[in-house]
Structure 1
Amino acid sequence: MASATLAAPRQSATKSRTRSSGWIWALPPVAALAVVFLYPLFLVVQQSLTPDTGGTSLKPYADVFASSAFREALGTTVWLAVGSTVGCLVLGFALALIVAFVPFPGAKAVARFIDVFLSFPSFLITLALLFVYGQVGMANGLWTDATGAASGPFQFLATPWGVLLAEITYFTPFVMRPLLAAFSQVDTGQLEVAASLGARPARIAAQVILPEALPALAAGGSLVLVLCLNEFGIVLFTGAKGVTTLPTLVYSKAILESDYPGACVVAVVNVLVSVSLYGLYRVVSRRARS
């Protein structure tokens, strides 16, 4: 009884030392995070509250929120990000099903290429689309050569639909990669049993494979959503002059207009929109899995 009484304070002291040592080990990465990320973010927020006239004021926010350019950029950013995410989820799921479950020569090579594709810069894919569907691209060139017309019919790449196509093309592999990893863990015996009971491929995919893939879909979709909200290179390289997103608005205000408080206001809003939509997506995906 006495030994048990003595052991209790010792265990408490050991736990206390463990917690204190844990805080000591956590301090370096927390300090590095604060210096590298939190401090620059604090400077951006501080600049957004500092108008050109000096002092601290919400006037930069009032000026930006009152501009129609900001409201249009906000709406364009959200619908492009959501539309691209939905397109990537649908297309990525379908392509991952084919690569994982439909036997064809070169399936393993395609899976490896997806890993390589993830390292490509976004402007490279956009540039490839310009070579094919641009105003002087291959598709329009073939059309004008065949018909003698002055211009080709493919003019959509410099529109919001062109940006949407480029983002879906580039970000779909970001959904396929976690899906292929999840599909590799699926018990093929379940698929064989379902097929032997007369289930068609579409029903097997919807009722057997899809539930197993929901966590991977949530992971890939949340990543794509955040990346699309902050995408700059694709919008710039498509030459879509009428398409202004929040990142391009930050660029134009800071570089072209030298309006640094306004640029910081848009940047702060962009961060808040990204975090909010990401949080909403995680809540929806969590409910879908439950």
Structure 2
Amino acid sequence: MSSLYAPEGLAQEGVLSDAELEAQFAEHAKAAKRRERAANWHLLFIFVVVLGPLVIYPLARMVLLSVSGANGLTMHPYTAFFGNPETRGLIGTTLGILFASATLVASVLGVALASMLFFKPFPGVKLLMRFLELFVAFPSFLVAFTLIFLYGSQGSVSIGLQRLFSLESPPMDFLFGIGGVVLAEVVFYAPFVVRPTLASYATLDMRLVEAARSLGADGWMVAMKVVLPLAWPGIAAGTILCFLLTLNEFGILLVLGSAHLVTLPIAIYSSATVDLDLPTAAAGSVVMLLMSLSLYALYRRVNRKTSAGDR
């Protein structure tokens, strides 16, 4: 019989004994433990050296400051913040701008633009999408200044209309107020709705759309009965993201907001820098932080549904 069928032949062909296999398994287990320990040390390093001084410590100090008083721990900053009659007006103004710009105009415009790009493509659509991706990297106050240069009372468009129609004064004078703030936020945050909506459209089964059209459904019925029920997680994710970013907007409000248009971020900034009331400013910041985290958790939950739909 050939030596290939003998134990020595098996050893020569690379078949290991039980002891050698156990030794290899033990070595692999030790290597896996070493990699796990190294990963844990790296995570601890990031947590202590990076997240600790830059994120965790400032947030902890802010929360501690919001409950600090002359005699120790107190809830006076929160009672002062919510007990101020102007706070209710600030919350109303903030929510009004949020729903007007983020929920209504920006979301509708973003969904409409995404629908046009996906269902009615035209030459240059890829270039436009790249521009929208680049646009979201711009600072928000840059959009505010651009609108001032174009549509302000001394802007190029306003002066051009004044000269064209021989008017005594520039016809446009709405930027420094709620109209300008809503316009700037719509222009800046509508692209944030486009990308999640396009991602949701990409998961659609176009055979369903074609079947609905073949049965005589018009474009509006196809959109409401087929596309919207299937694509709503992406649309909702984009709307929530737009709402979250608009809630924390500061640059546009600082440039275009008037003295009568004060929102929560501006009020917190004024409490800290003008009134030097750091505990009250910290209390307002904690409230805004909780609102932002709640919206972000909702965004993550809806976005997971979109990802599950992709699979």
- Given the two structures, how large is their TM-score scaled by the length of structure 1? 0.81
Alpha-carbon distance in structure 1 between the residues aligned to 2:229 and 2:160 = 45
The verdict on how the C-alpha distance between 1:284 and 1:180 changes in structure 2, with shifts beyond 3 A counting, is: closer
Whether the 8 Å CA contact 1:64–1:262 is kept in 2: the answer is yes
Equivalent residue of 1:119, what SS? coil
Which residue number corresponds to residue 68 of structure 2? 50
Number of residue pairs matched by the alignment: 279
Which residue number corresponds to residue 3 of structure 1? none
Which residue number corresponds to residue 116 of structure 1? 134
Percent of aligned positions with the same letter in both sequences?
39
Whether the 8 Å CA contact 1:80–1:164 is kept in 2: the answer is yes
Q: What letter matches 1:243 in structure 2?
A: L
Q: Does 1:72 align with 2:72?
A: no
CA shift for structure 1 position 230: 0.7
Q: Is there any run of 5+ residues in structure 1 with no aligned partner, and where?
A: 1-13
User: Which residue among 212, 216, 225 is the counterpart of 1:198?
Assistant: 216
Which residue number corresponds to residue 253 of structure 1? 271
CA shift for structure 1 position 66: 2.6
Q: Which has the larger radius of gyration?
A: 2
Equivalent residue of 2:280, what SS? helix
CA shift for structure 1 position 280: 6.5
Whether the 8 Å CA contact 1:139–1:152 is kept in 2: the answer is no
Alpha-carbon distance in structure 1 between the residues aligned to 2:196 and 2:302 = 19
Equivalent residue of 1:156, what SS? coil
Equivalent residue of 2:193, what SS? helix
Equivalent residue of 2:68, what SS? coil
CA shift for structure 1 position 177: 1.0
Q: What letter matches 2:283 in structure 1?
A: V
Whether the 8 Å CA contact 1:218–1:282 is kept in 2: the answer is no
CA shift for structure 1 position 279: 5.4
Alpha-carbon distance in structure 1 between the residues aligned to 2:169 and 2:283 = 42
CA shift for structure 1 position 83: 2.7
Which residue number corresponds to residue 267 of structure 1? 285
CA-to-aligned-CA distance 1:247-279 (integer Å, 9 cap, x gap): 111211112222212211211121123334555
Farther off after superposition, 144-153 or 77-86: 144-153
CA shift for structure 1 position 33: 3.9
Q: Does 1:170 align with 2:188?
A: yes
Whether the 8 Å CA contact 1:130–1:157 is kept in 2: the answer is yes
Alpha-carbon distance in structure 2 between the residues aligned to 1:259 and 1:249 = 11
Q: What letter matches 1:70 in structure 2?
A: T
CA shift for structure 1 position 105: 1.6
User: Which residue among 218, 229, 237 is the counterpart of 1:219?
Assistant: 237
Q: Is there any run of 5+ residues in structure 2 with no aligned partner, and where?
A: 1-28
Q: Does 1:92 align with 2:118?
A: no
CA-to-aligned-CA distance 1:133-190 (integer Å, 9 cap, x gap): 2121233313332444443332222121221121111011111012222223323333
- Given the two structures, how large is their TM-score scaled by the length of structure 2? 0.76
Alpha-carbon distance in structure 2 between the residues aligned to 1:34 and 1:77 = 32
CA shift for structure 1 position 101: 1.0
Whether the 8 Å CA contact 2:200–2:235 is kept in 1: the answer is no
RMSD: 3.3
Which residue number corresponds to residue 37 of structure 1? 55
Alpha-carbon distance in structure 2 between the residues aligned to 1:113 and 1:286 = 27
Which residue number corresponds to residue 258 of structure 2? 240
Whether the 8 Å CA contact 1:158–1:241 is kept in 2: the answer is no
Which residue number corresponds to residue 61 of structure 1? 78
Which residue number corresponds to residue 4 of structure 1? none
Q: What letter matches 1:113 in structure 2?
A: F
Farther off after superposition, 91-100 or 30-39: 30-39
Whether the 8 Å CA contact 2:67–2:279 is kept in 1: the answer is yes
Q: What letter matches 1:57 in structure 2?
A: T
Alpha-carbon distance in structure 2 between the residues aligned to 1:147 and 1:120 = 35
Equivalent residue of 1:154, what SS? coil
Alpha-carbon distance in structure 2 between the residues aligned to 1:165 and 1:104 = 26
Q: What letter matches 2:204 in structure 1?
A: V
